[in-house]
Amino acid sequence: MSAPKKLFVKTYGCQMNVYDSERMAGALGAAGYEETQDQAEADMILLNTCHIREKAAEKVYSELGRLRPLKDANPDLKIGVAGCVAQAEGEEIMRRQPLVDLVVGPQAYHRLPAMEAKVRNGEKALDTDFPEEDKFDHLPRGPKMRRAPAAFLTVQEGCDKFCAFCVVPYTRGAEVSRPAERLLAEARDLVERGVVEITLLGQNVNAYHGDGPDGVWSLARLVRELAQIDGLERIRYTTSHPNDMTDDLIAAHGEEAKLMPYLHLPVQAGSDAVLKGMNRKHTAEEYLRLIERIRAARPDIAMSGDFIVGFPGESDADFEATLELCREVRYASAFSFKYSPRPGTPAAGRDFVSDDVASERLARLQALLTEHQRDFQQAQVGRTLPVLIEKPGREPGQMVGKSPYLHAVHLDAPDSIGRVLDVEIVASNPNSLAGRLRS
């Protein structure tokens, strides 16, 4: 029996890419590969790329350049590029980097074994189609190995919103939702393997509309059905769009105890003029009233958001409106970036805000967001929170867990991985909390 081939996967970007990398490794496992953490011993290196941030493609080319010595040392090494950069620039990658053997888009991962066989025969393989068949139907099921306590589960892909700054509709395609019964089966399988927390993933996850046994299910219906699975203790979902926060989903936050009190709901800006330019199709006031409704249903919910500063046309007054929205919401956490044009998107050809101005605005926004984040963390001190213990810490006996609000919590709790424990929060650190077990 021949030794298994070695696969090294490097994942960039969002949680969905983490999930996709696991499934790609599973697909290539059926072709005789096992994963390695050492590039030098790999028979195939796969870069699972993200196209959201500035100069994403150039970063991929830089990484490919760093792989050249490995290819020179081992001419049989196969190198592949997957993900959104692959989808957007597949033929260009093949032309610009001859060392690349394989390029595969996000919707064609199930074809990896056939593509791998092709490159082993000395050919190049490129597949950036949006095939009609569901890739999840064709990806192999892995062995029932024990899993970490928390796992991702992709329920929806693609986006129909066409925000002016975003490449997702072009790289991931139109919104597609997976059938509900398959998701329930996959969730049960995860729980059987030790998972107690599942995060439902989608580029626009609250637009989920999957076929169920009695009609089309919403995300709220899926959450309620998942909550019936014995052993599944926690449910989360990300990333959401304000326009798809339906009444039943808001109600689920107040009624379903397993749905964690944490919601990532990007707004991107606080100015109606900028929101219109972004094609967000909601106003700042509509967003704020939505937050009010969500908090009325679940008063202890923590809000998270995304912001882009320096979007084309953003004035000083527009930026001040964003700061004012942040002061009103007081996010428990948030992600903020300077606008960077993505080729092919409607905003890419517009006049830019100068980099100096955008940088100054970003610094001011991040200072405000950091202040609110620290206030929220400090407010947890003295509370007792249910913490999911996920992994060992750096010190003997120390463990790292996750609060309902996604805070990392450090505490002494040996031999407790996979358990949800009542933990008294005793201190707030810059990026985590410290706790101790309640006696």
Q: How many CB atoms lie within 10 A of CB 164?
A: 17
Report the alpha-carbon distance of residue 288 to residue 285 in Å, rounded.
5
User: Which has the closest alpha carbon to 346: 158, 161, 89, 163?
Assistant: 163
Report the alpha-carbon distance of residue 325 to residue 305 in Å, rounded.
11
- Is 326 part of any known ligand binding site? no
On whether the CB atoms of residues 43 and 59 are closer than 8 A, the answer is: no
On whether the CB atoms of residues 138 and 108 are closer than 8 A, the answer is: no
Residues 6+ apart with CB under 8 A from 319: 271, 309, 361, 365
Q: What's the sign of the alpha-carbon dihedral 376, 257, 236, 284?
A: negative
Report the alpha-carbon distance of residue 210 to residue 194 in Å, rounded.
26
Distance linking the first and last C-alpha atoms of the chain: 54
Percent helix, strand, coil in the chain (nearest 5)? 40, 25, 35
227 SS3 class:
coil
On whether the CB atoms of residues 233 and 258 are closer than 8 A, the answer is: yes
Residue entry with tokens 């939702």: 177
Q: How many CB atoms lie within 10 A of CB 322?
A: 26
Residue 229, Cβ density class (10 Å: 0-12 exposed, 13-18 middle, ≥19 buried)? middle
Cα–Cα distances (Å) from 94 to 12, 48, 80, 230, 344, in that order, read 20, 15, 10, 48, 20
- Is 14 part of any known ligand binding site? yes
Beta bridge partners of 152: 199
Sheet order of strands, 302-309 included? 262-264, 302-309, 333-338
Backbone angles phi, psi at 437, to 5 degrees: -65, 140
**CA gyration radius, the chain:** 23
Task: Give the residue numbers of the binding site for [4Fe-4S] cluster.
Answer: 14, 50, 84, 159, 163, 166
Task: Give the residue numbers of the binding site.
Answer: 14, 50, 84, 159, 163, 166
